[in-house]
A and B are shown apart, each in its own frame.
Chain A
Amino acid sequence: MILAPFVAALFVIALPPQIGVLPVRAMAMVGALVALAANCYILAGFDRDGAELQFVDTQEWATQVGLEWNVGVDGIAIWLVLLTTVLFTLAIIATILRPPSREPQFLMLLLMGETALLGLFTANNLVLFYVFWEAMLIPFAFMIGIWGNEDRREALMRFVVYTMVGSLVMLVAVVGTAFVARDVTGQFTYEIQALRAVDFTETQSTLLFAGFALAFAIKLPLWPFHGWLPRAYGAAPLLVTALLAAVMSKAAVYGLLRVGVPVFPEGADNFTIPLLTLAVIGIVYGSVVAWRQDSMRMLIGYSSLAHLGFIVLGIMAFDVIGGQGAVLQMVNHGIVVAASFAIVAVISRAANREMIDSVSGLSAVAPRMAYVFLLVAMAALAIPGSNAFVGEFFILTGTFRWHVWAASLATIGIVYAAIYMLRLYQDSFMGPLRATGRATDAELTVKDAIYMAPLVLAMLFIAFYPAALVGATEASIKRAVAPAQIAADRPPEDIAEPVVPNPPPAVQPLPGDEPDLTAEDAGAPR
């Protein structure tokens, strides 16, 4: 499933340029659709109450490095995988409908990006996770670098350097984890599921978590590690910006939930307050800054900074409700942000460089667009009844149970969301009619509808029946947060009981290497 887009990408690159663009398009679509179909197949056979990884596929790769092909999905991953396949399929459709220059290359990079993200979301091996984590960067960097605007050099540099710093720290943490785990248990493994069982001392756990958390914080980005965001979001082609915000940012929060919290519960516990603080600052800061942006794209970009803060809150609350809400919100945010950027793309046909004040009153000539935009805007500001509200509500419910201050301060973000989204909506669609370009260009066309309709339908579906998603996440979330809850000294009745308990610490030493476990356990970290 993961490889389908990759194979398609290879085909795309292999097709000679003379034969025209049609086979390329067909190939790209096939790649995306095969992934989507495989995904649906998995979804159909998915056991919604299971906490284990399902559809696991393991292949030896480089055993001595601990690297092996080990993928599978659980109740958290499956939704992100679905989000990825759907959004990338739509992105490919959008590309085909409004082709950029050098379309085949663009499609190829899109498919490669999809591959990396799918791999990331399914990886059950820390090294594999890291491999995909890095691999994800390359196609996005190329898309920014080749198709970006005149600011792209600086943007690209910043984007790459920031993320590389993050990945570097993560690399050290990845290696460190395996070695420390070996010291503790005698087993050398990078398998995430096995590492969960390892009983790290508090110092080890804290340091390693810090490493991962920093990498995730940069990728998210969490305030104040968002230095790359404005430039990259600003310079990238709109479609790429949309994917950055919608999917790539999820990689980081997903990592936090998949690796950070379950593997290093004590460390996560020690970092709760700092991370919550940063998330809250990010929510407020992102909202306030978003409000004052001149460009539509940047407004959405900064709003994404704020929304991701909510997701971090939900994860770091170590609460089943908050965690499930966070997963739901990952999907929601992906859909809503993608739709928001799609709308910006449509509006900017009538606007001057996506500047907010270059259009107004478009409702008069683009009534259909006005409805769609309204719907999306309402979802973006999480009005009660929208899909995003469900996510935010339960995230904050969960957070509020343990950290009243964080949840309360985060609600400032809700108010500001209303302010900045209304600014965007009203300034462009209300008031007297005015446009830099042809105002009627801002109306929704059939082409736009093709890729926007699925997003809107998904939003409505989640708003009406969130249980479809949330129901399948419970077991996985319980399993993920239970250790952290124990580490946080929660009262016993509040600690989730995982359906599948985490395996007991593996105490089978390697042959010839039989460490004195008691001494090791008691000993200080090396």
Chain B
Amino acid sequence: MADINIVAATPVIIVAGTSVVTLSLGLVPWRRVRLYGPLLAAGTALIAAMVMSGVLWGDRQLAFDGNIRADRFSLLLNFVFLIAALAVIMFSWREPASVDRRGEWPSLVLASTAGMMLVAGSGDLITLFLGIELLSVALYALCAIEVWRERSLESGLKYLIVGAVGSAFFLYGLAMLFGATGSLKFSEIGREISQQSLANEPFLLAAIALIVVGLGFKASAAPFHMWTPDVYEGAPTGITAFMSTGTKAAAIAAFLLIFQGILPGVEGDWQAAIITIAVASIVVGNIAALVQRNLKRLLAYSSIAQAGYLLIGIATGTIAGAEATLYYLFAYLAMTLAAFAVVLIRERQVPDGERLESLSGYWRTSPLLAVVMTIAMLSLAGFPPLSGFVGKFLLFGSAVDADLAWLAVVGAIGSVVSVVYYLRVVGVIWFGQTDPEREERRLGPVTGATVVGVTSALAAIALTFATNPILDVCRGAAESLLAP
């Protein structure tokens, strides 16, 4: 019974372990080590975890008696999390918060990453909950890590309060699920549900509703999105990027895992709920973003809308939908990181770098970053042939395929509305006037962020041209969800 098979859990273990190591590295007396050690260690750990994820690629392996899985699905998502985390580490080079809290910063990032990986690789409800909590708790701290900034504190506290409520809902949902099936293991829950036609069972219904609410909160889907803009705005920009990519991916992974992995038999019970939050997210996110002048808030609303698109894929309940969702996660990762990289750099260059106006005429001073931002925005808006387009195309296609054509139409209308605010950014960059009086300062080199930005922008393009192989991978991952 006690099948430990620790190898299958190595990626998580590496990351979690290094989290502790970096924390201690920040305490060692040698200044040089204090300065660079934690970041280097974190980077190394992340790369090592990626390598391990690659090595483990293949059919499902179970660790710790099936509480942690390593299959195509979890490993693929590991890449999303690890890339996001790596980006944050690179962002944090010379980041004020990171300089101040040398050990804690990478340690918390790694802890949060480990939480995400646990979510994707969980094999039972406890691991899942642990993962969710681990990533959230670390993020609460990260949001507020710039304790000298009132906004950062406010952001952390808001996130904590609403997040705790969300977690409570989620946990209660898990309890209900346990109550309905009498098991905590995914495989057994799935078997239980398929065997004893539990559809419309009150406990199951309650579980579904509560889980949708809890995960919807994590994915910042409307109407559980209210915290998103405030927290995104207040948190350090690197963390915001991490939240909007990693957390969202983790939440979406949990959605996929629960609804497509273990509850496919009762699709009728949960589909409507997911459609509801998907539509609400698309509508709210896109409309609210129309009037935003703060780039981070704008990206926050945009991420709400993007969550809506991602949920479309889940709502279909088909392999094609899951596949599209996974592809779009990668595309979304690339374009969001690119966008945040530019915001981050601009923040360090000018005092109010997160204002939309600060980008006015930016292409004159920094054409490369202007192109990066343009690609990111166009891709987010779904302009072909960028990866954002391909992803949306797949998502809407899967919706049409699942007889949810109207959902695709809603999504498409939403993306038209979104064009307005995305292109406003592009317009400001290219067509705006430069303000000669603006104080330009440079807070040290921003190479790390630049590298991330350029790489992400290139990835946003490359994903299009490599659609075929990547989709194959995604399909494998999606199929492994349903494998017994």
Contact = CB atoms under 8 A, between A and B. Distances in A.
A165 interface: yes
Interface residues of B, number: 33
B416 A172 contact: no
Given A131-B384, A168-B416, A171-B396, A62 B431 contact: no
B38 to A, nearest CB: 38
Interface in A149-171: 152-153, 156-157, 160-161, 164-165, 168-169, 171
A65 interface: yes
A139 to B, nearest CB: 12
B245 to A, nearest CB: 23
Interface in A112-159: 127, 130-135, 137-138, 141-142, 145-146, 152-153, 156-157
Nearest to A68: B468
B266 interface: no
A161 B416 contact: yes
Interface residues of A, number: 37
Q: Is the interface of A mostly helix, strand, loop or mixed?
A: helix
Interface string B432-471: 0000000000000000000000000000000011011001
Contacts, number: 89
B50 to A, nearest CB: 25
A176 B465 contact: no
Q: Which of A146, A153, A168, A526 has the most CB of B within 10 A?
A: A168
A96 B81 CA distance: 49
Contacts of A62: 390, 464, 467-468, 471
A172 B412 contact: yes
B165 interface: no
Given A65-B390, A135-B383, A160-B419, A142 B405 contact: no
A142 B396 contact: no
A513 interface: no
Nearest to B385: A131
Given A60-B468, A168-B416, A171-B396, A146 B390 contact: no
A402 interface: no
Given A138-B378, A156-B431, A161-B420, A65 B383 contact: no
A60 B475 CA distance: 18
B420 A172 contact: no
B393 interface: yes
Contact of B467 (A65, A137, A156, A175): A65
A141 B430 CA distance: 11
B385 A65 contact: no
Nearest to B419: A164
Contacts of B416: 161, 164-165, 168
Nearest to B397: A175
29 contacts: A62-B390, A63-B468, A64-B323, A64-B468, A64-B475, A65-B390, A65-B397, A127-B393, A130-B384, A134-B389, A135-B383, A135-B385, A138-B378, A145-B430, A146-B431, A156-B427, A156-B431, A157-B423, A161-B416, A164-B416, A165-B416, A168-B412, A171-B396, A171-B412, A172-B409, A172-B412, A175-B397, A176-B405, A179-B401
Given A146-B430, A164-B416, 7 more contacts: A62-B467, A67-B467, A135-B383, A156-B431, A160-B423, A168-B412, A179-B400
Interface of B: 323, 378, 383-385, 389-390, 393-394, 396-397, 400-401, 403, 405, 408-409, 412-413, 415-416, 419-420, 423, 427, 430-431, 464-465, 467-468, 471, 475
What 6 A-B pairs come out closest when comparing CB atoms? A62-B467, A131-B384, A145-B431, A134-B384, A168-B416, A131-B385
